[in-house]
Amino acid sequence: MAVSACLVFFIVLPAIVFFVHRSSRCRRLRLPPGSLGLPFVGETLQLISAYKTENPEPFIDERVGRFGSLFKTHIFGEPTVFSVDPETNRFILQNEGKLFECSYPGSISNLLGKHSLLLMKGNLHKKMHSLTMSFANSSIIKDHLLVDIDRLIRLKLDSWPDRVLLMEEAKKITFELTVKQLMSFDPCEWTESLRREYVLVIEGFFSVPLPILSPTYRRAIKARTKVAEALSLVVKQRRIESESGEKRKDMLGALLASDDHGGFSDEEIVDFLVALLVAGYETTSTTMTLAVKFLTETPLALAQVKVSTVESRPPL
């Protein structure tokens, strides 16, 4: 009985302190109306449940109806202000880097790593962004990317059964192409194992960033550790090869070659690779899937794409 009473005390007391501190803080700050929800969790569960339906808008619409076009809430471990007002949004975007600073919830920043391009600021961000753009615009990637895409798509089409889940296959293709451009790995068991861990990491982006409260986030943290360990081994091996004079024309090679200009640590490179692998996984695969869907539904557009593709092929 005494043990139960102690457990209740240690659970209830932090909640009381949390509510008292939060209410006093809200009184000191001029914040929009709204609700911060439950301690620690906030309104994260309501947002997640809404986005698992076909229509996620009720989460926002309900609060706009109650509090107006500018309201506060608490999601993914962070107090957050939502704005659906065009003028307010325009003001924020025009003053990014001046009055406002871009940031991400802890659930995302913790999983990406402190050296991720999304989280970098100042000279390091400029340096990494410049390096990425120079590589992306180089003849190296232009000469090899389309060849890799063509080869991989043909390989996948030959291996598919009569029916496939296109979205899942598009994700695999996107991931394998990204790994190829970043580290020169062809599709294999290692890349598929890495992709499975990445899926767990991405699932943790939109969860409460407290392992004790969120099994999804707990799995994501473990998966992120495995991903970092796998990439660290690759970086260490490639650094040894680079120092012995062996060069490869990929993003990792460009990062290692930048040692002449201050260089990057293994940890910085791993965090950077993690973010780049995540960056196009969902967006590119979704675009690919929708392109196939709409082309299938529009025969005229499909015919025009076929003609354009044939005409753009280099002569044999």
Quickly list H helices, the chain. Answer: 2-28, 44-51, 57-67, 86-94, 106-112, 122-136, 139-159, 166-183, 189-203, 215-243, 251-257, 266-279, 281-297, 299-312
Residue pair 171/289 in contact (Cβ under 8 Å)? The answer is no
Q: What is the mean pLDDT of residues 30-56?
A: 84
In sequence order, what are the residues at sequence separation of 6 or more whose Cβ sits closer than 8 angstroms to the Cβ of residue 276?
117, 132, 178, 182, 251
Q: What is the mean pLDDT of residues 31-38?
A: 91
Q: Please give the structure tokens belonging to residue 201.
A: 């990491």
Band (53; pLDDT cuts 50, 70, 90)? confident
Enumerate the domain spans of the chain.
2-105, 122-312
Q: Give tens-digit pLDDT for 174-214.
A: 999 999 989 999 999 999 999 999 999 999 998 888 888 88
In sequence order, what are the residues at sequence separation of 6 or more whose Cβ sits closer than 8 angstroms to the Cβ of residue 125?
117
Q: Give tens-digit pLDDT for 79-133.
A: 999 999 999 999 999 998 788 888 888 888 889 888 887 777 767 777 777 777 7
Q: Which of 15-29, 51-65, 83-97, 109-123 has the lowest mean pLDDT?
A: 15-29
- pLDDT value at position 86? 94
With a cut of 70, say whether residue 281 has pLDDT above it: yes
- pLDDT value at position 296? 92
In angstroms, the Cα distances linking 65 to 87, 105, 290 are 18, 25, 33
DSSP, collapsed to helix, strand or coil, labels residue 81 as: strand
CATH number of the structural domain 122-312:
1.10.630.10
With a cut of 80, say whether residue 17 has pLDDT above it: no
Q: Give tens-digit pLDDT for 142-164.
A: 677 778 888 888 888 888 898 99
- Output the average pLDDT for the chain: 83
Q: Dmax over Cα atoms in the chain, in whole Å?
A: 84
Neighbours of 278 (CB within 10 A): 21
- pLDDT value at position 14? 45
- pLDDT value at position 314? 61
Q: Give tens-digit pLDDT for 206-246.
A: 888 888 888 999 999 999 999 999 999 999 999 999 888 88
Q: Give tens-digit pLDDT for 283-297.
A: 888 899 999 999 999
